[in-house]
Chains A and B, each alone.
Chain A
């Protein structure tokens, strides 16, 4: 008997009380907090890469992490779906909660976590399979085998990633025949096919041309209706364009976190001002 594809319902998620008096960098009183990071530190062996990060990330908001290379932004992003577990000798302390559930807990089912927290990488990595199979891969692993249901998921995901019109007549062609920009949108379709709550994007446009980049940026605006998005980007203009909130990191520390328009016009900290105006180092 077919096991039905159980998708997490956003409505069931827990609304956390506002943190108070713990030094957290919060983003606004009205906001529904989905990810709560408290005193998060990360060590690669003896080397500390993140220092006491405190941050609240709101539901259905786009949050951008910016900062120079090696500042820890990708490391912090990877903490959110425990991808750093794949690196030997990594230790994370503090607390990273998603909807009130601690993700640092070693007994946590990481596969379940990664189903809820999808990820899109810098370099598009489609499987050498058909477009259809790329998107259907995740749901199949989660137990969906009903053809009509899979068709529905594939269409919805490709529409959601703005690829449907370009791909609907070639669903059974090899995905490797698509362009770079289409590859990335296919990877986004593959990510949202399993209906995550949160989509992490690590430099999703750095390998794309300006037109493909614009499409992904437009897509981010649409995706935030249904998903919480956390994006790491080296492109500050991109962060300014797509995000609601921006976190500036430097040498493993969170220097400033706030509304994107404020951070890019009147930042509070001198280090942020120097970085966004290109007066760094």
Chain B
């Protein structure tokens, strides 16, 4: 258990920063989950709700930035506090982008709902589950400062990338066989790419968690190290 800061106000502000990141993380997880439900269930009202809620994610992004700026200006943080703030600044951007992706999925859902359903399954649900589990684990790793879980998330990204390629190929085959489906299948392809981007953002978060906990950067290391 880390020792508490001698400046209680500072300690409290750091706790509030962590809480903001978690609140934003929780909201973004819900946005993705609702967006996928709306897409698969062809539920337009639910898709519109997700789009309307994106401003809350944006608000939390700005609020987190402001908290970080305030902490940097007033407390001149060092060591682990500095790393927490740097990590928060980066994580918040990734979370905000994931929020945008949820909105994008819903926009595609609304478009798809104007047309007849596809006659083939594109296995987007499984892909979404993988991406969501990476996001969940990266946020858990942040809360628990669990670097082995964070490293696992980074290692899982490669699987998502290869699965995306497979899905692309499958969709192209369907499109060739059924040219009428091209417009709808292309939208599914977009969603596949969106989910792959969520996994990338979750990987970015996990990499920053490793930096926060160990002061070690594994960003842009491909493939990620087997151990830390």
Contact = CB atoms under 8 A, between A and B. Distances in A.
Interface stretch (A69-77, A89-97, A223-231, A272-280): A272-280
Given A237-B76, A278-B5, A279-B4, A265 B82 contact: yes
A170 B5 CA distance: 49
Interface string A246-276: 0000000000000000001111000011101
Contacts of A272: 79
A173 B220 CA distance: 62
Contacts of A106: none
Interface in A97-129: none
Given A265-B215, A266-B215, A279-B2, A273 B7 contact: no
Contact of B78 (A265, A280, A281): A265
Nearest to A264: B78
B79 A265 contact: yes
A273 B6 contact: no
B83 A279 contact: no
Contact of A278 (B2, B10, B215): B10
Contact of A277 (B79, B214, B215, B216): B79
B90 to A, nearest CB: 15
B6 A240 contact: no
Contacts of B216: 266
B79 A266 contact: yes
B79 A273 contact: yes
A276 B79 contact: yes
Given A265-B83, A265-B215, A277 B78 contact: yes
Contacts of A266: 79, 83, 214-216
Interface string B49-84: 000000000000000000000000000111111110
A177 B2 CA distance: 51
Interface string A124-136: 0000000000000
Interface residues of B, number: 18
A264 B5 CA distance: 16
A40 interface: no
A279 B214 CA distance: 18
Contact of B6 (A236, A237, A278): A278
A110 to B, nearest CB: 38
A273 B80 contact: yes
Contact of B80 (A236, A240, A277, A280): A277
B3 interface: yes
Contacts of B7: 278
Contacts of A273: 79-80
A276 B78 contact: yes
Contact of B5 (A236, A237, A267, A279): A279
A265 B80 CA distance: 7
Nearest to A279: B3
B172 to A, nearest CB: 47
Interface string A46-73: 0000000000000000000000000000
Contacts of A240: 78
Nearest to A281: B6
Interface of B: 2-7, 10, 76-83, 214-216
14 contacts: A236-B78, A264-B78, A265-B82, A265-B215, A266-B216, A273-B80, A276-B79, A277-B80, A278-B5, A278-B7, A279-B2, A279-B3, A280-B6, A281-B6
Interface of A: 236-237, 240, 264-267, 272-274, 276-281
The 4 tightest CB contacts between A and B, nearest first, are A266-B215, A276-B78, A279-B3, A277-B79
Given A264-B78, A265-B78, A265-B79, 7 more contacts: A236-B76, A266-B215, A273-B79, A276-B79, A277-B5, A277-B78, A277-B79
